[in-house]
Amino acid sequence: SDLELVLYTKTAIGDGTQANNPWLQEMPDPITRMTWDNYLTMSPKDAARLGIDNDLNGRMQLDGSIVNVTVNGVTVKDVPVYIQPGQAEGAVGLALGYGKKNSGKVAESGVNAYPLFDGSNLTLSNVKIDKTSGSHEFAGMQLQNTLMGRYEIAREVTLDTFLNVKFDDEKLGWNKPLEYHTIGGALPAGKIDLWDAFDDVDGPHFNLSVDLNSCTGCGACIIACQAENNVPVVGKDEVRMSRDMFWLRIDRYYTTDIPADIDLNKDGMLSQEEAVTADLNVPGMYGHFLDKESGILNHPAKNPDVIFQPVMCQHCNHAPCETVCPVAATSHGKQGQNQMAYNRCIGTRYCANNCPYKVRRFNWFTYNLNDKFDFNQNNDLGRMVLNPDVVVRTRGVMEKCSMCIQMTQNVILEAKKEGRVVRDGEFSTACVDACATGAMKFGDMNDKSSEVRALFSSNRRYTLLEEIGTKPNVFYHTKVRNRKNNF
């Protein structure tokens, strides 16, 4: 046949053994960023040929076509389709482990792909796809927390440029320090401020380092944060309403190889008529461009690269959320954390509106006491999973990443009882402990020998949305692509 089906296992659900775990069902897929579902992944070109659509609604959530998939005479009905940039043309993918019966109500999410599996082969031929009526409502995590068109969110540089061009080169620098242009001339961003600085020289001052080179988007940090901090599972319907409660998310960004001399709005772009003639008309995607040297037609969605960027509360030293809270429920701590006093919060949500990083969450319900959210945590047995060191938030309260203050304070108190100073490496957070690749590092900036302080001096370091002057205590490291040039 002209299509090939690849059965695969997702990062969170695997073969479905733990499919009744709501933490894993709600964890977004690293690439598609969809939760609570499996789906048929398909290339944009195959989708256009088969009349398959993906459309965004007003809440920036996806609706997709539904198909019946038949392989060697076996049919799985009502499978939603997700159009995946970078998918090989002629190949479709479907995750195993979903749609399980008699394993708990959470495990029933999605469709069961095991009837298509012959016991040995995960790649199957003789595939037939029939589009049905209606559409499927996906619950996604990528678009509702967008940083609103900001630029240079996830930075990257090619290895050739990284090795041969100075990071602060006036014209070609790949991580130039930010400057503000004032009436007195250009000045470094850190030298211009409307705020008084906090006194952070006494005691520890915490920073978190995130290396985009090392992050694989596996999501272990998300689950660790959820378990440590009693973050509720809200279910597919609430995620679809953009009411997820994750304190930490991993944004996925696509990048593509576009020649430097091509303007996607002008030069090298094919007209609609030319694209149709070349059989490359893909609805809902950017236009195509012509590589002037090779004469090859390309499409930005054909073979994109991916960057994974963990985003949590940035614990800004000049936090925009703190100044707008009418009851001072959020304030700046001596150790650099942006802190929440939950019993003072009255739920105005001004802080969420003023947060440029979109990391604050509002409790629309008391999730662990509401039968609508019966995800193994709203009964006496299920609540035993809750961490007694972290308060369980109630309806009408804002919440966010605390930089695991319960963990840092415990380290300080234990060292005090033992009559010693805290050693580098003792301070940690749940996400740092769970990171298998070492992409996250946490520590005390006032400890001159600390690893996080050494990382802060790296030429690859930058802060998210530095231009707005929030001075975060979380910093990132530019991703280096191991190739010679961009194209």
Residue 285 phi, psi dihedral angles, 5° rounding: -110, 170
Q: Strand 91-95 relative to strand 74-83: parallel, antiparallel, unpaired?
A: unpaired
The rounded distance, in Å, linking the Cα atoms of 58 and 158 is: 37
Domain co-membership, 106 together with 206: no
Highest mean pLDDT among 45-54, 57-66, 217-226: 217-226
DSSP string, 274-322: HHHHTT---TTS---EE-TTT--EE-TTTS-EEEEEEE-----TT-HHH
Other residues' Cβ atoms within 10 Å of the Cβ of residue 143: 14
The rounded distance, in Å, linking the Cα atoms of 176 and 445 is: 23
Average pLDDT of span 27-38: 91
DSSP string, 38-55: --EEE-HHHHHHHT--EE
Residue 483 phi, psi dihedral angles, 5° rounding: -150, 165
Average pLDDT of span 166-175: 83
Q: Which of 61-75, 194-208, 262-276, 321-335 has the lowest mean pLDDT?
A: 262-276
Domain co-membership, 133 together with 182: no
DSSP string, 259-275: -TT--TTSTTBPPHHHH
Domain co-membership, 439 together with 378: yes
Q: Is the model more confident about 212 or about 59?
A: 212
137 dihedral zone (left: phi>0; alpha: psi -120 to 50; beta): beta
Is position 165 within any domain?
A: yes
Q: Which of 71-85, 173-187, 325-339, 467-481 has the lowest mean pLDDT?
A: 173-187
pLDDT of residue 416: 92
pLDDT digits (tens, 9 = 90+) for 255-271: 776 665 555 555 444 44
For the chain, what is the mean pLDDT? 84
Domain co-membership, 229 together with 321: yes
Decide: residue 248, CB within 10 A, 0-12 exposed, 13-18 middle, 19+ buried.
Answer: buried
Question: How far is residue 172 CA from its own chain's centroid?
Answer: 29
pLDDT of residue 103: 84
Domain assignment of residue 185, given as a range: 156-252+310-481
- Please check whether residue 455 is in contact with residue 445, taking contact to mean a CB–CB distance below 8 angstroms: no
The rounded distance, in Å, linking the Cα atoms of 115 and 71 is: 9
Domain co-membership, 109 together with 40: yes
Is position 292 within any domain?
A: no
- Please check whether residue 132 is in contact with residue 68, taking contact to mean a CB–CB distance below 8 angstroms: yes
Task: Please give the share of the chain, as a percent, with pLDDT higher than 70.
Answer: 89
Q: Is the model more confident about 274 or about 151?
A: 151
Residue 10 phi, psi dihedral angles, 5° rounding: -75, 160
- Please check whether residue 227 is in contact with residue 233, taking contact to mean a CB–CB distance below 8 angstroms: no
* CATH (domain of 414): 3.30.70.20
- Please check whether residue 227 is in contact with residue 385, taking contact to mean a CB–CB distance below 8 angstroms: yes
Token pair 């006194």: residue: 199
pLDDT of residue 161: 86
Evaluate if residue 278 carries a pLDDT over 90.
Answer: no
Residue 414 phi, psi dihedral angles, 5° rounding: -65, -40
- Please check whether residue 45 is in contact with residue 91, taking contact to mean a CB–CB distance below 8 angstroms: no
Evaluate if residue 134 carries a pLDDT over 50.
Answer: yes
Q: Which of 95, 110, 138 is the last residue of a domain?
A: 138
Is position 146 within any domain?
A: no
Evaluate if residue 192 carries a pLDDT over 80.
Answer: no
Domain co-membership, 202 together with 114: no
Closest CA to 80 of 121, 36, 124, 45: 36
pLDDT of residue 487: 43
Q: Which of 17-31, 377-391, 445-459, 468-482 has the lowest mean pLDDT?
A: 377-391
The rounded distance, in Å, linking the Cα atoms of 139 and 76 is: 21
Domain co-membership, 199 together with 317: yes
Q: Hey, what are 310's tokens?
A: 């963990």
The rounded distance, in Å, linking the Cα atoms of 107 and 111 is: 10
Domain co-membership, 97 together with 51: yes
The rounded distance, in Å, linking the Cα atoms of 24 and 29 is: 10
The rounded distance, in Å, linking the Cα atoms of 47 and 26 is: 27
Is position 273 within any domain?
A: no
Domain co-membership, 113 together with 182: no
pLDDT of residue 160: 85
Domain co-membership, 104 together with 168: no
Domain co-membership, 126 together with 57: yes
Find residue 139's DSSP bridge partners. Answer: 35
Q: Which of 138, 167, 199 is the last residue of a domain?
A: 138
Number of domains in the chain: 2
pLDDT of residue 27: 92
Average pLDDT of span 172-179: 84
DSSP, collapsed to helix, strand or coil, labels residue 405 as helix
Find residue 156's DSSP bridge partners. Answer: 479
Find residue 157's DSSP bridge partners. Answer: 480
Is position 445 within any domain?
A: yes
* CATH (domain of 57): 2.40.40.20
Confidence of residue 7 (pLDDT cuts 50, 70, 90): very high
Closest CA to 13 of 5, 24, 28: 24
Is position 265 within any domain?
A: no
The rounded distance, in Å, linking the Cα atoms of 352 and 325 is: 10
Domain co-membership, 40 together with 168: no
pLDDT digits (tens, 9 = 90+) for 417-447: 999 888 888 899 999 999 999 999 999 998 8
Q: Which of 104, 138, 172 is the last residue of a domain?
A: 138
Is position 236 within any domain?
A: yes
DSSP string, 444-472: ETT-TT-HHHHHHT-TTEE-TTGGG----
Is position 487 within any domain?
A: no
266 dihedral zone (left: phi>0; alpha: psi -120 to 50; beta): alpha
> Considering the entire predicted model, what is its pTM?
0.86
Confidence of residue 383 (pLDDT cuts 50, 70, 90): confident
DSSP, collapsed to helix, strand or coil, labels residue 368 as helix
Task: Please give the share of the chain, as a percent, with pLDDT higher than 90.
Answer: 39
Evaluate if residue 276 carries a pLDDT over 50.
Answer: no
Element at 26 (helix H, strand E): helix 22-26
